[in-house]
Structure 1
Amino acid sequence: MFKNKWKFFSLNLLLTLLIFFIFSADYNLLNFINSLFYISIIYFTTVLLMYTIKGGFFDGVTFGFRRFNSIMFKRNDYLEEWREKPLPSEKFNSSLYQRIKFQAVSLLILLILLLFIYYII
């Protein structure tokens, strides 16, 4: 991914414009807002999923499935390697999370600003 968050933001805006020009029947502000919403909802959902993983919500489920798998399908696993495998919250990439969170927040701010312009003006 891009290291520069502003270049990545401009790429997202270009992607929004591309979706707007390809899929819109009429070229107006409402259809551009809809196109921006499609892009921003993907980022927002990804950020919420990553936040849930970061908090350790899936750690217990993952550990339980690993334990169940080792009990049901007994292999010659004398070291019990399933106990030492990192859990999802331990493998979390915080720099990727920060970059995607910036994109989600900035696209959401732009979306709210455009909605404000659309309904006020």
Structure 2
Amino acid sequence: MLQHLKDHSNHEALQLQLFASTGEGITLYELESGKETFPFYLTKGTYYIRIFSNDQPMKYSFTSSFSKGDNFENELNNTKSTAKLMIPNTTFTGTLNDGGYDNQFADVDVYKFEL
């Protein structure tokens, strides 16, 4: 959970960026005020989180928690050939690109099932 600890009237948003070990940006979130939880569904690997604001100084607190599971949507699954197989009576959780990078709104998640 990312929590903004500053009176936020007339201030810039607090921003959180998630990066892969390759330096590739995965997502960008903005927090205007208060506190918010930002879920990430990731495959095994090394990741980096960058928290910043264009309005310095900025106080915040940050808490993380991790859950292992097989029902998270993982990239690449943007086409029929890379679609994740759906298991009946199973809930899947995923996330789409929030528009923070050049290909905004270009991410799609494709699932497949057989009857």
- TM-score range (shorter-chain normalised) is under 0.3
Higher percent of residues as strand: 2
Give the alignment's TM-score, normalised by structure 1: 0.21
Give the alignment's TM-score, normalised by structure 2: 0.21
- Greater RCO (Cα-Cα under 8 Å, separation 6 or more): 1
Larger radius of gyration: 1
Higher percent of residues as helix: 1
